[in-house]
Structure 1
Amino acid sequence: MADSEVAATGCERLARLVAPPAEPVDASGDWAAVQDRIGGRLPADYRRLVETYGWGEFCDYLYLRTPFGTSRHNGIERQMADLNSPAPTAPPAATAPPARERELHPRPSHPASGAGPAELLIWGTTMDADRLCWLTGGAPDEWPVVVWSSEGRHETHHLGAADFLAGWVGGHVGSHLLADMEPDLAPWFNTFRPRTHRCLRLSAGPRVAAECLRVLRDALAPTVDRGSWYSEDGELGQDHFATVDTDWHLTYDADRPHRIRIAFPPEDGERVRQRLFAAVALMGCEVLQVTTAAGTPLAAWHAPTDDDRSA
């Protein structure tokens, strides 16, 4: 089967579940130079993934890394260097066949050219600092995915990267190491781009938290759910959502005092300020303070800060 046919299967399945971005970031470059650097060919479905989605995150959890761009998070050197931490400890004596032994106890390194020992190469990460790798060795399009947890545990999935992602977002791939998609949420992909982060601390108003959230989302409509959590007594919690047309990411924090957190493209700064402050007024509240995401108070909405970064 041709590389393009192998790649299309998993990537097209994923694209039916998760709409690709119109303008993927860090999605193109010199593939020949990348493969020369690692000493071999990369799986065809990974190349298709990078060209289709670029640098970004699936469902605020799984991060797709690319070998291109200037970000310190990307580049083939980073994908290789991130595996310098200790591997899970192998038993003193191997009792499994060699191929099975490599699967049970993969070595954290980059692939050598030819059909050498199976080693690991990173293609993604998670928000919990887990690493998504290939167990290299043999034909690249047959490399299985290894989930390498931040605690040093690992598990092998006999799927390519695209099929693994499609299975995870679709709820068909189970993992003892990764979190599951929140039930009833439609999967999504966020392209990494420069964003400004602001947090608004609000005064108490006449409405309960659930009503404040409804007013806020109505004022910024249309919006889509991005997950939520609440304490058992319902007193504390957060609702995450995003605007459909403007790509603003918001969290309504029902703590006391309640807060609105927002991340938005820098060029939208004034429009965000106007719409958000108008929404707060409709909620019957006042903005007591504006801070960065890290909680640093700001003298003005547009004040530049070191906390504003790509996210």
Structure 2
Amino acid sequence: MGRLMLAWLWRTTTVHPDVERLKALMPPGPEDGDQVDWQAVEQDLGCRLPADFRDLIANYGVGTIDECLMVLPPTSAEHDSGIPSVGQMTPTAEKIAWLEHTKSEYPLWPAPGALLCGLRMVDINGDLAGAVYWCTTGPVPEQWPVVVWQRYRPFVEFELSMTGLLVKWLAESADIEFDQRMVFGAPHSRFIHWRAERAMREQGLDPWEYLEPLHLEANEEWEERNLTGTRPSWALAHEANIRPSAPESLPRPEGPQLTVLGVNGQSSGDLVVKASVALGSSTAAPIQLTPPLGPQGPVLEFTGPEGLLAVAFGAEVTAPEPGTPLVVSATQPLTFEARVPQSAILTDATWPDVVRRLTTDTTMKLVVQDPAMADLRAATSAEADDVIVGWWPPQG
């Protein structure tokens, strides 16, 4: 009993400095915070979690910031909140083999230097949009750097604690382009514990109602950009967690265009997507794209009525003539094929199953990223965005 009392006193008088800074920017509610048996967590996960994250759980608990950034339950099992746990979100060969398809250099858990997940990002549909990990290098968890992964973007390491990264995002959000932000930032952002969110929904209340005016303000920002021929608002809205209008109803500015020409789930088990890139201007100078068309190659997403059906990373790209440069000119679009193996799919379906659904209720989005696109847009006085998106079936 004495040891328990001493532990309780320590927890109530000593809080990690990063958590104290977080509380100043985004105060927790009076009922927030979870009591956790951290010795049992260590036995369950096979490692000790950093002190700042333990204090984050003690002061805030399991829940969500701004409907898009989730603090994960510190367990390997399913959690009553329905939020995927640390163990469930950690890339392992058995559970989440997609990490290998991103062509990342990180090993799979539990190898030394593997990624261990603490935060989960979701888009407006609740689908996975990114994650924040610890890179488990060395025996001292407090010295682990954090690694941010977002869809369509490379992995980025920060020499910060996970809570320190939250502080950075909350404090600097106003100075970050909206489509790069993780949260709205102080003083707007709120943390809502999963029990409080559930209770509000049971009462017919929207826990995230406070976000509506913030979304409207953000919409005005990117609508103004769209009028000046910058990034397509439908793409910006998707990445920025804004509630967009239907893609086909929005104007698309002059600039590089990505068109999906066909999709084929082959009997070999591979998925083959045929697409072309056009400059979108008869006066633009030729550009040469860099294989594999993105930090990890093209990204494919398949979305049905139930949400994200499949996502694939690291597609192999081939030009019409293997070995030739990926060049596109004003008079000659570049046609290429992106091939994805069956092992890249995240569900129990096969590629032929997914492709068949494209004729009924499913949409495929192909995302290509290349610095040459940013240079081309910058040369035409548009925003220097390096991402282009194509859809199948074609939209608008």
- TM-score w.r.t. the length of structure 2 is 0.42
Percent identity at matched positions? 23
Residue number among 30, 44, 56 corresponding to 2:37 in the alignment: 30
Q: Does 1:163 pair with 2:160? A: no
1:183-217 CA distances to partner (integer Å, 9 max, x unpaired)?
88533222222115979xxxxxxxxxxxxxxxxxx
User: 2:83 matched to which residue of 1?
Assistant: 73
Question: Distance in 1 between the 2:183 and 2:190 partners?
Answer: 11
User: 1:89 matched to which residue of 2?
Assistant: 103
The structural deviation recorded for 1:182 is 4.6
Contact kept in structure 2, 1:120 and 1:134, CA below 8 Å:
yes
SS in 1 for 2:90: helix
Question: Distance in 2 between the 1:190 and 1:39 partners?
Answer: 29
Q: Does 1:59 pair with 2:66? A: yes
1:76-112 CA distances to partner (integer Å, 9 max, x unpaired)?
432336643233325xxxxxxxxxxxxxx222424x6
Q: Which runs of 5+ in 2 are unaligned?
A: 1-9, 124-128, 228-232, 234-241, 247-304, 306-396
User: 1:120 matched to which residue of 2?
Assistant: 115
Letter in 2 for 1:148: W
Contact kept in structure 2, 1:83 and 1:122, CA below 8 Å:
no
Question: Distance in 2 between the 1:42 and 1:132 partners?
Answer: 14
Question: Distance in 1 between the 2:172 and 2:148 partners?
Answer: 16
User: 2:328 matched to which residue of 1?
Assistant: none
Letter in 2 for 1:22: P
1:1-311 to 2 correspondence within 5 Å? Answer: 8-24=16-32, 27-67=34-74, 69-80=79-90, 83-87=96-100, 88-89=102-103, 105-110=105-110, 117-128=112-123, 129-138=129-138, 139-151=140-152, 153-171=154-172, 178-179=180-181, 181-182=183-184, 186-192=188-194, 193-194=197-198, 195-196=201-202, 226-228=214-216, 229-230=219-220, 231-232=223-224
1:14-39 CA distances to partner (integer Å, 9 max, x unpaired)?
000001121126x2232212111222
Q: In structure 2, do the counterparts of structure 1 residues 33 and 79 end up closer, same or farther at CA, with 3 Å as the change threshold?
A: farther
Letter in 1 for 2:143: E
Q: Which runs of 5+ in 1 are unaligned?
A: 91-104, 200-219, 238-250, 256-293, 295-311
SS in 2 for 1:22: coil
SS in 2 for 1:77: helix
Question: Distance in 1 between the 2:212 and 2:99 partners?
Answer: 40
User: 2:337 matched to which residue of 1?
Assistant: none
Question: Distance in 2 between the 1:106 and 1:223 partners?
Answer: 35
- Bigger relative CO (Cα 8 Å, ≥ 6 apart): 1
Q: In structure 2, do the counterparts of structure 1 residues 44 and 175 end up closer, same or farther at CA, with 3 Å as the change threshold?
A: farther
User: 2:320 matched to which residue of 1?
Assistant: none
Count of residue pairs the alignment pairs up: 198
Q: Bigger CA drift: 74-83 or 134-143?
A: 74-83
Question: Distance in 1 between the 2:215 and 2:193 partners?
Answer: 18
